Amino acid sequence: MSPIGSVAELTELGRVRLSQHFFMREMLYSEVANFHGLQNLPEDPELAIAAGRRLCEAVLEPLHRAFGVVALRSAYRSPAVNDFCYRQRKPGGTDYFCSDNEYNRARHIWDWRDAAGHLGATASIVIPWYLPSYEASGDFRPLAWWIRDNLPGYAEASFYPWLCAFNIRWYEGPSERAITFHDGKEGGLITKAGMANFEGDHSALYPGFPAAD
């Protein structure tokens, strides 16, 4: 598949079914692109589709089976949109949160392999099932620990305070399966492979959660 050159080609790209419940069209939404009149289109649609399918099958579909609706906030970013977003960042600013293109290879830029040649894909999502508990407690950690125990396909996850949204990644290369958080001012590490708290069953930290399939 060549780069998108017409509305008809974009329509066909949007119709690509990545998995049972997810289509490529919803992955292309970008608030930055919409506001600034930019095109958020892959340079290599076939590679973006391949990475998106792996993300959906390994990560998003298991979340959907457990919790129902998975609300997408941001997923694919073109190199041009990601670079534009990154260059708008200002100290203390709150509108733009993109890291540079090199970091986002095989993350939000699905159609760029990373320096090691590995494919990857990231989506920013919200789990509506958990929102009432989060709004009452402000605690993202039960969901983080459920992901650690029940979602073997994730490569890394990073939580944010807005709607308990989090970035979650599938990656074909080696991964420490780190879970981090950022509160808008600073961040920290919750767990990763090799830490004393990583292994074992953490189900006591997320009572009432659905069982994974």
- Summarised one tens digit per residue, pLDDT across range 165-202 is 999 999 999 999 999 998 766 779 999 999 999 999 99
* 113: number of Cβ within 10 Å: 18
The answer for residues whose C-beta is within 8 angstroms of residue 22's C-beta and 6 or more apart is 52, 56, 60, 61
Q: What is the pLDDT of residues 71-118, one digit of tens each?
A: 999 999 999 999 999 998 776 666 788 899 999 999 999 999 999 999
- In order of 1, 104, 148, 155, 202, the CA distances from 177 in angstroms are 32, 17, 8, 5, 15
Start-end of H helices in 41-87: 45-55, 61-67, 79-87
Residue 60 DSSP code: I
* 187: number of Cβ within 10 Å: 12
Q: What is the pLDDT of residues 110-156, one digit of tens each?
A: 999 999 999 999 999 999 999 999 999 999 999 999 999 999 999 99
pTM summary value: 0.94
How do strand 187-191 and strand 71-74 relate by DSSP bridges? unpaired
Alpha-carbon distance of 176 to 190, in angstroms, equals 12
